[in-house]
Amino acid sequence: HQSVLREFAQGVPCNVDTGECLDMEHGFKRFIDTVPHLTGLWQTALGKYRLDHSRNLIDSAWQLLQEDARFYDHEPHFLYKRARKAPGLGNEKNVALVVGNLISLYARQGFTTQQAMNGLTRCGAWDDIANYYRRRGIDADQLRLLISQRLVERRLLGKAA
């Protein structure tokens, strides 16, 4: 998947022998550019997300797939690292969906604005929610007003979940 390849490119894969480093512009921009790296990416993925037979043993089929699979005869000797998204970044759509769904549920249950705010702060995603609105220049009072308006809208339009 392109997002996984992008995360590997952001992890700055480096050739152990030459010191050459790749990025999205030089080596991972198109899927075809990743072909020489498929074996290394495969081995990295199967090593990182390993199926264990027991606490001290790797599943034998998993180990065979990890060590013996080859996709390209002349693969470069790169060290691959996957750079994952930082928490709270790149998930704006998910945060907006969570807030919208919770507001719909709260409207259906007849929550007041204060109850809805309390529910949001205790839902487990509050840090992401607060950062989402902070990045958009919305302070606590504006957020409270926004939540109040959304509760009323959902009740009036009959869209309370």
DSSP state of 73: T
For the stretch 36-73, pLDDT in tens is: 888 888 888 888 888 888 888 889 998 888 888 888 76
Q: Is 9 exposed, middle or buried (0-12, 13-18, 19+ CB in 10 A)?
A: buried
For the stretch 92-132, pLDDT in tens is: 888 999 999 999 999 999 999 999 999 999 998 898 899 88
What are the structural domain ranges in the chain? 2-79, 92-157
Does this model's pTM top 0.85? My answer is no
β-strand pairing of 14-15 with 57-58: unpaired
For the stretch 25-46, pLDDT in tens is: 656 777 787 788 888 888 888 8
Q: Which helix (H) or strand (E) holds 68?
A: helix 60-68
